[in-house]
Structure 1
Amino acid sequence: MSEGVGVSGQIVRHAGQIEAVRVRFAAVHTASAVVVGDETVYGRLCRWMIDTVLEKHARQDELVEYIEENLRLIVAGLCDLAGQERPRPDPVREAAVPSLVAPVEETAKAAMERIGPLRDVLDELTGRPGVIAVHAMTWYNIAVEQRDMADELEDFLSHDVPGWDGAAEHVRLMGHNIEAIRGLSSVSAAFAEIVQSVGVLVAQTRRLVRELVIGLAVAPTDATLWRLACRIAVYGVALNATLTHLEDRLNG
């Protein structure tokens, strides 16, 4: 079938829209690398809680790269079909992609903890719950961005695909990618919930260690020791319940 000028233009426009979505995957890569790049934010006592998430993130990142490559190949194929050059990397467009990394805002309480050597003890042992909360928000931003990209690609297919030879196959292949992106969004949302829950545990651990350090720095009384023992028992119950929930969420 000989493609008319109008159809060729539609193909090029459609390819450009897909390319714009593909470029936005760079923001997903960058944001996910930030939130898994520093395990020390969880501290020595809590780092093990996030190990399973980090393992699953590696698989998530592989799927992101796979889909991004699929979109790149689809764009190249559409350009070849339209008799146009394949798009080259556009640094201006890439620089314009907004960051998905949530900003860190230090609370007044966190600022108070940063006075004196107690800060270093707490950071090393229990981690930094404020930063972990930011990581959870970043995962949420990633999930929303992936969902929006899937919706936009589906909209492009509904309104911009002309009746060229092979259009049905293009729609089929793009449909698989769209569903995969929606699946990535669901996993990212689960990561957000899990990291947020781990952040609560880290904050509880931090409070417990802070009370223990302060309580033992002065002459401990029976009442002080009893209160700490009760806090540890309550924390143990909460820890077990939360970890069970996290395991179910990861496997669900």
Structure 2
Amino acid sequence: MSGQIVRHAAQIEAVRMRFVAVHRASAVVVGDEVVYGRLCRWVVETVLEKHARQDELVEYVEENLRLIVAGLCDLYGVKRPEPDPVREAALPSLIAQVEETAATAMERIGPLKDVLDELTGRPDVITAHALTWYNIAVEQRDMANELAGFLDHDVPGWAGAEEHLRLMGHNIEAIRGLSSVSAAFAEITESVGVLVAQTRRLVRELVVSLAVAPTDATLWRLACRIAVYGVALNATLTHLENRLEG
């Protein structure tokens, strides 16, 4: 019985270690506010606050798992799992890499780069942030399923395991909830990325057009683009509000 308990505790500890990767990835996304630019940063202020709250919940669940492992080992008089720095170092990164398009690379040549980055942000980085949130959501879902499988396989033969089942059940549901929220953040971040890309294109066209003598046709085209942008902005804000409330 003690060998089974040690194996079960080690499995939970391995899942807890994977929360390190989740925590690391979410912290990178939450802390990178400048990528939204001055013109769009206000749109994501509420989202960023919820990102920070998500990060706190990840820490809370990770601590719960640590305490459960420690309590389980102490209750049954077995040695707690030793930290494994090799396994921790081998944890996969959930942080998506930034991949610049050819158009984005061209924008980074010359003084236009500073104007676009400061005012409109980095849509390529925001796209990577959205993919990171999708990676986090999938990882959290998989961890919840694995923990549920550990309980189904290991615990039924234990006497007096009701409290352990209750505590682990709460954590599993919390992780599934975190996965749903992470998926929502991914979708929201994608929407903001579209908004930032539209803003960037509009500012780029405005800067280029005003660099030469603008014609009436040019000004009319810019006015139409601004009107379309306004419609897109309203649609994006409505979508964000609905997702945050949902």
- Conserved 8 A contact 2:25-2:132: yes
* 1:79, distance to aligned residue in structure 2 (A): 1.0
The separation in 1 between residues aligned to 2:210 and 2:160, in whole angstroms, is 74
Instruction: Give the aligned partner of residue 164 of structure 1.
Output: 158
* 1:22, distance to aligned residue in structure 2 (A): 0.3
- Write out aligned runs for 1:1-252 (5 A): 7-252=1-246
**Residue identity opposite 2:242 in structure 1:** D
**Residue identity opposite 2:194 in structure 1:** V
Instruction: Give the aligned partner of residue 4 of structure 1.
Output: none
Structure 2 residue matching 1:161: 3-state secondary structure: helix
The separation in 2 between residues aligned to 1:111 and 1:143, in whole angstroms, is 30
What is the identity percentage for the equivalent residue pairs of Structure 1 and Structure 2?
85
* 1:87, distance to aligned residue in structure 2 (A): 2.4
- Conserved 8 A contact 2:30-2:52: no
Q: How many residues align?
A: 246
- Conserved 8 A contact 1:150-1:181: yes
Structure 2 residue matching 1:125: 3-state secondary structure: helix
The separation in 2 between residues aligned to 1:15 and 1:212, in whole angstroms, is 60
* 1:163, distance to aligned residue in structure 2 (A): 2.8
**Residue identity opposite 2:158 in structure 1:** W
Structure 1 residue matching 2:157: 3-state secondary structure: coil
The separation in 2 between residues aligned to 1:111 and 1:131, in whole angstroms, is 13
TM-score, normalization by structure 1: 0.95
The separation in 2 between residues aligned to 1:177 and 1:102, in whole angstroms, is 27
Q: Which runs of 5+ in 1 are unaligned?
A: 1-6
The separation in 2 between residues aligned to 1:139 and 1:67, in whole angstroms, is 18
The separation in 1 between residues aligned to 2:83 and 2:41, in whole angstroms, is 38
- Conserved 8 A contact 1:9-1:82: no
Instruction: Give the aligned partner of residue 3 of structure 1.
Output: none
Structure 2 residue matching 1:106: 3-state secondary structure: coil
> Segments of 4+ in structure 1 off by > 4 A?
none
The separation in 1 between residues aligned to 2:48 and 2:83, in whole angstroms, is 30
Q: Which runs of 5+ in 2 are unaligned?
A: none
* 1:162, distance to aligned residue in structure 2 (A): 4.6
**Residue identity opposite 1:158 in structure 2:** D
Comparing 190-199 and 46-55, the one that deviates more: 46-55
Comparing 196-205 and 45-54, the one that deviates more: 45-54
* 1:129, distance to aligned residue in structure 2 (A): 0.3
- Conserved 8 A contact 1:11-1:162: no
**Residue identity opposite 2:2 in structure 1:** S
* 1:82, distance to aligned residue in structure 2 (A): 2.9
- Conserved 8 A contact 1:14-1:160: yes
- Conserved 8 A contact 2:37-2:117: yes
The separation in 2 between residues aligned to 1:58 and 1:229, in whole angstroms, is 38
